[in-house]
Amino acid sequence: MNEHARDPRLVVEILSEALPYIQRFSGKTVVVKYGGNAMTEDTLIDSFARDMVLMKEVGINPVVVHGGGPQIGELLERLNIESRFVGGMRVTDAETMDVVEMVLGGLVNKSIVNLINRSGGKAIGLTGKDGAQITARQLRVEHQSPEMTAPEIIDIGHVGEVEHIATDLIEMLTERDFIPVIAPIGVDAEGHSYNINADLVAGKVAEALNAEKLMLLTNVAGLMNAEGEVMTGLSTAQVDALIGDGTIHGGMLPKIRCALDAVKGGVASSHIIDGRVPHATLLEIFTNAGVGTLITDTAHAEDATD
């Protein structure tokens, strides 16, 4: 028997704290990017699946977008296909793209669907190719060294960026009480497949759905200040300033830009949350303290507990 079960008063206190958030967000859409440790550790995998089911049960509409980079790397290694990276992005030729589709659209996607279903939910797995949900174009990568007069365009193959998100299929599923689980694979007008960064897909899906929240699970506690404390309740203007002065840099920068762009694109709030914490999504949505960095527009920046 766990500690909460031994102390009914604590259980009641937690439920009471969650009530106003449940009332506020019932009927709203929350897009969750699932990846990192939360996707590879058994206890975190189980807690994530249960979180999605609980959110659906209290009237919130979760939409899951997942990654799968480590799993792709493992299969490529087993098949003796070399992995090369340019600027942190996997160079994806036609052979590698076949593996990406197998892993993201098959193995990983169906595993997540199965976990949610086993926890009592109704999940359906999709890729961006289903219903042409994610229209993509090839990502152009530029490189310029000091001695070059013009940037060099590097072809990294079937790596894409989002051109358009069609929401009709996702909306139909959520209205019928399903939880969509989306693999970040897009398609262009000629039918070519593209592997797209899952954070970027989640952000664009959140914008297209006019979601209440975008939640990006990561392997850090959130955006940290110089004292090592998690910063939260940030406005878009504050985030722009932190990028400008170099406080936000390195590997965190693309994720923060994704969260920032989503809010500027109409999503009510973006959250960078610690996926290493069990039930991180519920803690961020339903408790006053939360477990990560919250970004909103200027008008709501003072509301740091949502």
Residues in the annotated binding site: 68-69, 90, 195
β-pairing, 269-274 vs 292-296, is antiparallel
C-beta of residue 131 within 8 angstroms of C-beta of residue 168: yes
**At a CB cut-off of 8 Å and minimum separation 6, what does 301 contact?**
233, 234, 235, 238
β-pairing, 61-66 vs 179-183, is parallel
> For residue 134, what is the DSSP state?
E
The helix/strand/coil state of 80 is: coil
The token duo for 112 is 């997540």
Maximum separation of any 2 CA atoms in the chain, in Å: 70
Continuous H helices in the chain:
3-6, 8-25, 42-57, 69-78, 94-100, 109-118, 168-175, 198-208, 236-244, 252-264, 280-286
Residues tagged in the binding site annotation for substrate: 68-69, 90, 195
Number of helices (H), then strands (E), belonging to the chain: the values are: 11, 16
Integer CA distances (angstroms), 210 to 13, 28, 43, 165, 266, in order? 32, 9, 31, 12, 6
Q: How far apart are CA 63 and CA 55, in angstroms?
A: 10
